[in-house]
Amino acid sequence: MVTGDAAYIKKINRSLIIRKIIKEGMISRADLSKAVDLTRATISAQVADLLEEELIIETQLEHYSVGRKPIMLSLNNQAGYALGIDLDYGQISFTLSDLLGKPVSSTIIKVNTVDYSETLHLLIEQIKKYKAEFTDSRYGIVGIVIAIHGLVSKNEVIHYVPRQQWEDINLKEDLEKEINLEIYIENNANLCAFAERVYKHHETDNLLCTTLYSGIGLGMMMNNEFFRGHDGYAGEAGHMIVVPGGKPCNCGNKGCWEKYSSESSIFEYLSNKRKIENLTYEHIQNWFNEGDEEVQELMEQFIYYLSIGLNNMINMYNPDVLVLDSELLRMYPEALNKIRENLNSSISHYRELLISSIGKKSCVLGACALAIQNFLDVPMLSLPYER
């Protein structure tokens, strides 16, 4: 039994109620009382507060065959908006969602600079546009989460971003000086893992998500929380050495995993070998369709080294679910089965291995979801996913 002062207990009960309403979509007061094991009087008082705050709404079921039509409770998804931002090299993706994580507006801006001051100005300008445009709700924009493709400390300072060469930058503080909104900074792989947990794997407590695009990132959800390590830098699995003395990496080591099993390594090799400056997924898909032997061999090698790293991740963390986020794997026939065939150690244990069905949107959707979770002050969300 939970003990503590009345305000603390009320906060816990409120969290239970909000989370259950979101998970069920629609639920009556009576069913809610049973589901969260709280008295009807407690439910009535909490629901009255949430209705007054416009966080939930009531709907009467029209088609109900027996007795009185029950009044159903659901989250008021139009009460506010969450803004997710993926701050990547060469482009910034903005997605605004409602309080159920459904995107209502998305923008991608190409960026031709790595200068921090210019990037900061661009962010401020775009955020102010969103803030001005979406004021037609009770709470407006409830929070902003920015995904960083690099090291983010526990106090949300950007320690290092390899491709932009940013070091020890306090983007959160710089933005909050100009914008009166809640700002959160988070590693991109963590947000991908969060999106998988929130939108797809609602009953999974321990989840790993490996992103394979510009490098290799590892997002880790352990007991429904981010696993960050001592300073917040855990998850840099791309710089695990899989080939001692191998290809040199920007981190200073040789033979890092991401030099062999990231999509950028494939694109870089084929772009140089075939003299194609702006290589696309379409090029590679056509080569797959044509049965191009060199590309087939390259993908087999990609999967071989990917499997080595995954085997290490599985043995270290024993995840329930392991999600791979890669467009190349989605395109390549039998990719998942080939990976599974390489994971044949008798001591490697996991329940499910799969390729992400959310894909490249997972980072920015995870950012929206984290902003919603912080606003609603619940320990975990289960949101519906719509393609």
Q: Do 221 and 311 belong together in one domain?
A: yes
* Bridge partners for 209 per DSSP: 219, 323
Q: Is residue 18 part of a domain?
A: yes
Q: Read off the pLDDT of residues 208-225 as tens digits, 9 standing for 90 and up.
A: 999 999 889 999 999 989
- 60 and 113 housed in the same domain: no
What is the chain's percent helix, strand, coil content, to nearest 5? 40, 20, 35
Domain range for 58: 6-75
- Whichever domain contains 49, its CATH number is 1.10.10.10
Q: Are strands 217-222 and 207-211 parallel, antiparallel or unpaired?
A: antiparallel
Q: To the nearest 10°, report the CA torsion of 268, 272, 278, 283.
A: -80
Could you tell me if 353 and 209 lie in one domain?
yes
Are 111 and 85 a contacting pair, CB within 8 Å?
no
Tell me, what's the pLDDT at 104? 96
Which of 57, 75, 93 lies at the terminal end of a domain, its last residue? 75
Nearest Cα to Cα of residue 367 among 195, 134, 176, 228: 195
So what's the pLDDT on residue 65? 60
Per-residue pLDDT of the chain (387 residues; tens, 9 = 90+): 455 588 899 999 999 999 999 999 999 999 999 999 999 999 999 999 999 999 999 988 766 566 667 899 999 999 999 999 999 999 999 999 999 999 999 999 999 999 999 999 999 999 999 999 988 899 999 999 999 999 999 999 999 998 899 999 999 999 999 999 999 999 999 999 999 999 999 989 899 999 999 889 999 999 989 999 989 889 899 999 999 999 999 888 999 999 999 999 999 999 999 999 999 999 999 999 999 999 999 999 999 999 999 999 999 999 999 999 999 999 999 999 999 999 877 777 888 999 999 999 999 999 999 999 999 999 999 999 987
Residue 382 lies in a domain: no
User: What pLDDT is attached to residue 1?
Assistant: 46
How far is 299 from 210, CA to CA, in rounded Å?
Answer: 17
Within this chain, do residues 45 and 109 fall inside the same structural domain, yes or no?
no
384 three-state secondary structure? coil
387 in a structural domain: no
Query: What's the pLDDT score for residue 62?
Result: 65
Does residue 126 belong to any structural domain of this protein?
Answer: yes
**Residues 143 and 255 placed together within one structural domain of the fold:** no
pLDDT on residue 45: 96
Residues 295 and 320 in one domain: yes
Residue 214 within a domain: yes
For residue 383, is it within any domain? no
Residue 169 lies in a domain: yes
Residue by residue, DSSP assigns 282-316 as HHHHHHHHHT-HHHHHHHHHHHHHHHHHHHHHHHH
How would you list the strands of the sheet with 151-152, edge to edge?
151-152, 158-161, 166-169
Residue 387, pLDDT score: 74
Does one domain contain both 51 and 148?
no
pLDDT of residue 358: 95
Q: Which of 37, 52, 75 is the last residue of a domain?
A: 75
pLDDT at position 56 = 97
pLDDT value for 41 = 95
What's 130's domain CATH number? 3.30.420.40
357 and 218 part of one domain: yes
CA distances in angstroms from 106 to 82, 199, 260, 376, listed in the order given: 12, 18, 32, 23
Instruction: Based on the fold, state whether residues 140 and 244 are members of the same structural domain.
Output: no
| 296 shares a domain with 187 | no
Report if residue 255 sits inside a domain.
yes
Q: What is the count of structural domains for the chain?
A: 3
